[in-house]
Structure 1
Amino acid sequence: MRSTRRALAAVVGAAVLLVASACGTGEDDDSTASKVEVFTWWAEGGEKAGLDALVSRFTTACPGKEFTSGVVPGGAGVNAKQVLNARLQQNDPPDVFQVHAGAELLDHIDAGQIKDLTSEFSSWGLTGALPEGLVETITVNGRLWSVPAGVHRANVVWTNDQVLAESGILTAPKTLDDFIANLGKLRRDGIESPLALGRDWTQLMLLESVLISDLGPKKFTGLFTGATKWEGKAVRAAIDDYAKILDFTNADRDSLDWPEAERLLIDGKAGYQLMGDWLAADLAANNFSGYDSFTFPGNGKAFQWLADSFALTTGAPNPAGGACWLQTVASPEGQQAFNAEKGSIPARTDAPTTGFSDYQLKASADWKSGVAVPSCAHGSACSQPWQNAANAAIGAFSASGATAIDKAALQSALAAAAKQFIRQA
């Protein structure tokens, strides 16, 4: 629990939230009032570099405010979300916390744990600077609850060019069948794990990409609104394809996080890895340049998006400082600094693109012209309990051996999760 002094600061600080845009005036005599705890899971690689860039902007934009890290390592926030939920239940909140924009916020909103930021969106110039589709997706009950820092694309395949070239694979596969054929060729040529893969949520990412290929963007999105039934034949066919691909992945997938799976790609033990485009910055951080990337085969113009965002807790010990962090995140300069390092693209359409890679510039163009598709694995399509249920079903399938009985069990579990949670999305 926080000290009595910090608890008192939370009560006093709540009264000044509406004037938080001043960001640096009226400091409290208590030195702890200057501290702003930012809770994230960005602990290494490009993610940490992006966070550091935001901290630098925050220090300049919010004089007198001191960034305090609340980082809990773990890909996609698997560990951090558990710690955050425990802290919120114990009335020990950070000032702001990282969250995926979209349905992942539903439980926090229902529990009254985060502030309504609708008026701040207007005063910070976000309302007209964010794409209409993004604003629509992150609006809940007519209100806005988190500030998007950047947009990532999830459905991207990354390559080790040398491994592929040694098997005579010189072009990107266009279809799911082509991709499976390439995986088979790599296996026959001595690559034991043609596709590098990690645990639960990374496996859900792979299933989602296969579902997009087999169902198309519209029907895929319908899986999370009720318009498409999980019990259908098309989903069963996608699970069959998913099982084929899973057979070409590393046997220790259930014990690896995504950076460890990435190591297989870098070390030439895999030819491919499906991972969001934050991988580009991490590959650069690992001094690996022998790669290429392409949209998952069969996904067409589908841009499966997730938006990193930050929310302000209702019990924030330093709400004014937390609001100043959010204003930094919302600014064009903050978004440019963050995304240039992290490898994502700005949520704001008017943010500068100075320092962006060729991939980021292409992703920005695809974001404007592609078909936006949400992700359950990253919280834009489904709530946290639904995501947990899907991850559990995927994990059980991975450990089971993927027989026909296991495929039916996976489909049944995914259908049951949709039936239980779809009304909350």
Structure 2
Amino acid sequence: MSKSKLYSLMTVLMIAMLVLSACGGGAKKVEVFSWWTGGGEAAGLEAMIKVFNEKNPNIEFINAAVAGGAGTNARAVLATRLQAGDPPDSWQGHAGQELIGTYVAGNQIQPLNDLYESEGWLSVMPKTLIPLISQGGNIYSVPVNIHRANVLWYNPAVLSANGVDVPTTMDEWFAAMDTLQAAGVTPLALGEQWTKMHLMETVLLGTLGPDKYNGLWDGSTDWGSAEVTTALENFQKALTYTNSDSASLSWQDASQLVVNGDAAFNVMGDWAEGYFRELGKSPMADYGWAPVPGSVGVFQFLSDSFVLAVGAPDEDGAMAWLKVAGSKEGQEAFNPVKGSICARTDCDKNLFGEYLQSAMDDWSSNTVVGSLTHGVVANDSWKSEIDTALGLFIQNNDLATFQSALVAACASSGPCK
């Protein structure tokens, strides 16, 4: 073989090797599962994805979000995929028992201790939050935010026109809603079933107070007690002030009734504020806020976080996503748009609007308790039993049967065994 032919052959072989090397293992990508598809939620996620893409131009981001408030649909799809051995690389999960009692207990997610050490996150994440994402000395998720559940949103003009003050107690709230109802105003906007569970947990807190509320989840408050009966009666009464089409409304639909002046109040987490701003509404003009009556000085919290799947198809891509999710840049891009505050303690407060700055102050000074609806205080099994009992109660309005079912749920899946 001549030298020229030999050089040509070697050149072809080298090019082939480079092509094979570039194609080896396929293009890098990361599939991230969440339920952020509407309102300020989707916009917040897109803001964080933009940071990811800027930092990782060679990794394709696959946004596998599934619509459905509070993750009701997304978690069902995720459970099916996990059972089939087809996990996404990373997914959204609530800090607390949803994470520990479901995904850690099911050996479905990997520890992230090395990531926390390399990124220095232990010094910037709240010390109250780390135990809720840890088990057996391992840390299992990256929190991206803190949300407040016990927020009473109201329309200032509707309240003013009807001579109603912002209520601070359950009795004041019911009196205000009586006045509004008599004037032909929908007092309390409500949506699909998970928003009713959200309302229930805030009424339990507002009636029982933080200590007795916490006792529901550690077994020290009896679900069958008279004080819980009173709290459930308050919830039952609150439902009588709501719109008749609630079952067909999303949380966004229900919240919009307030800012459009079609209802006076709505109980929803502070992601609603991100949605209000996306609609072009102005704080204290189109909407105001206060703690749910009876819960002044208490911050009922939840935290969205992201995990690393056991058997993640692209673990490197997942780790790149988690680094952005836990970074100051990622959280400062995400949270002001989403309508939440950073999980990190070093974010620039000036990036946040009036409501979120007040939430930062309350988070640092209030008594903190966890949310049921959003995964902090109960694992998926217990929450599912409560949800089933709630659905039957909404249909039959039988309070005694409802309370008995809640007692049974605590005995079956909670600490009352």
Structures share a fold, TM > 0.5?
A: yes
**What is the aligned-residue RMSD (CA, Å)?**
1.7
Tell me by how many angstroms 1:229 deviates.
Answer: 1.2
Return the alpha-carbon distance in structure 2 between the equivalents of residues 353 and 319 of structure 1: 33
User: CA contact under 8 A between 1:149 and 1:346: conserved in structure 2?
Assistant: yes
User: CA contact under 8 A between 1:340 and 1:354: conserved in structure 2?
Assistant: no
Return the alpha-carbon distance in structure 2 between the equivalents of residues 30 and 185 of structure 1: 70
User: How many residue pairs are counted as aligned between the two chains?
Assistant: 393
1:157 is aligned to 2:133: no
Return the alpha-carbon distance in structure 2 between the equivalents of residues 316 and 87 of structure 1: 12
**Amino acid of the structure 2 residue aligned with 1:103:** Q
Partner of 1:104: 98
**Amino acid of the structure 2 residue aligned with 1:72:** V
Return the alpha-carbon distance in structure 1 between the equivalents of residues 117 and 296 of structure 2: 35
Partner of 1:322: 318
Partner of 2:255: 262
1:54 is aligned to 2:35: no
Q: Give 2:408's match in structure 1, choosing from 416, 422, 425.
A: 416
Q: Give 1:194's match in structure 2, choosing from 180, 184, 187.
A: 187
Partner of 1:347: 343
Between 1:304-313 and 1:257-266, the stretch displaced more is 257-266
Return the alpha-carbon distance in structure 2 between the equivalents of residues 97 and 28 of structure 1: 28
**Amino acid of the structure 1 residue aligned with 2:158:** V
Return the alpha-carbon distance in structure 2 between the equivalents of residues 357 and 76 of structure 1: 24
Tell me by how many angstroms 1:200 deviates.
Answer: 2.1
**Amino acid of the structure 2 residue aligned with 1:164:** L
**Matched residue of 1:49: which SS?**
helix
Partner of 1:116: 111
- Deviating above 6 A after TM superposition, structure 1's stretches of 4 or more consecutive aligned residues are none
User: CA contact under 8 A between 2:94 and 2:376: conserved in structure 1?
Assistant: yes
1:233 is aligned to 2:226: yes
Q: Give 2:176's match in structure 1, choosing from 179, 182, 190.
A: 182
Q: Give 1:216's match in structure 2, choosing from 204, 209, 225.
A: 209
Tell me by how many angstroms 1:104 deviates.
Answer: 0.3
User: Pairwise mapping of residues 9-48 of structure 1 onto structure 2 (< 5 A)?
Assistant: 29-30=23-24, 32-48=26-42
Partner of 1:333: 329
Partner of 1:140: 135
Partner of 1:295: 291
1:254-295 CA distance string (max 9 Å, x none): 232211212322332210000000101101111233110100
User: CA contact under 8 A between 2:258 and 2:287: conserved in structure 1?
Assistant: no
Return the alpha-carbon distance in structure 1 between the equivalents of residues 91 and 26 of structure 2: 18
User: Pairwise mapping of residues 82-101 of structure 1 onto structure 2 (< 5 A)?
Assistant: 82-101=76-95
Q: Which has the larger radius of gyration?
A: 2
1:139-194 CA distance string (max 9 Å, x none): 2233211100000000001112222222112x311111000111111110011x31
Tell me by how many angstroms 1:215 deviates.
Answer: 1.3
Tell me by how many angstroms 1:28 deviates.
Answer: 5.9
Q: Percent identity?
A: 41
**Amino acid of the structure 1 residue aligned with 2:114:** S
**Amino acid of the structure 1 residue aligned with 2:280:** N
User: CA contact under 8 A between 1:33 and 1:318: conserved in structure 2?
Assistant: no
Tell me by how many angstroms 1:30 deviates.
Answer: 4.8
**Matched residue of 2:360: which SS?**
helix
1:328-360 CA distance string (max 9 Å, x none): 011111111111111100111112234210111
User: CA contact under 8 A between 1:199 and 1:395: conserved in structure 2?
Assistant: no
**Amino acid of the structure 2 residue aligned with 1:76:** A
User: CA contact under 8 A between 1:154 and 1:305: conserved in structure 2?
Assistant: yes
**Matched residue of 2:307: which SS?**
strand
Return the alpha-carbon distance in structure 2 between the equivalents of residues 355 and 128 of structure 1: 21
TM-score (norm: length of structure 1):
0.89
Return the alpha-carbon distance in structure 1 between the equivalents of residues 296 and 152 of structure 2: 13
Return the alpha-carbon distance in structure 1 between the equivalents of residues 117 and 350 of structure 2: 25
Return the alpha-carbon distance in structure 1 between the equivalents of residues 352 and 151 of structure 2: 18
Q: Give 1:308's match in structure 2, choosing from 299, 304, 307.
A: 304
Return the alpha-carbon distance in structure 2 between the equivalents of residues 315 and 134 of structure 1: 26
**Matched residue of 1:271: which SS?**
strand
- The unaligned stretches of length 5 or more in structure 1 are 1-26
Return the alpha-carbon distance in structure 2 between the equivalents of residues 62 and 144 of structure 1: 25
**Matched residue of 1:361: which SS?**
helix
TM-score (norm: length of structure 2):
0.91
Between 1:74-83 and 1:205-214, the stretch displaced more is 205-214
User: CA contact under 8 A between 2:53 and 2:59: conserved in structure 1?
Assistant: yes
**Amino acid of the structure 1 residue aligned with 2:147:** H
**Matched residue of 2:217: which SS?**
coil
Return the alpha-carbon distance in structure 2 between the equivalents of residues 230 and 302 of structure 1: 21
User: CA contact under 8 A between 2:300 and 2:369: conserved in structure 1?
Assistant: yes
Tell me by how many angstroms 1:322 deviates.
Answer: 0.4
Return the alpha-carbon distance in structure 2 between the equivalents of residues 82 and 123 of structure 1: 33
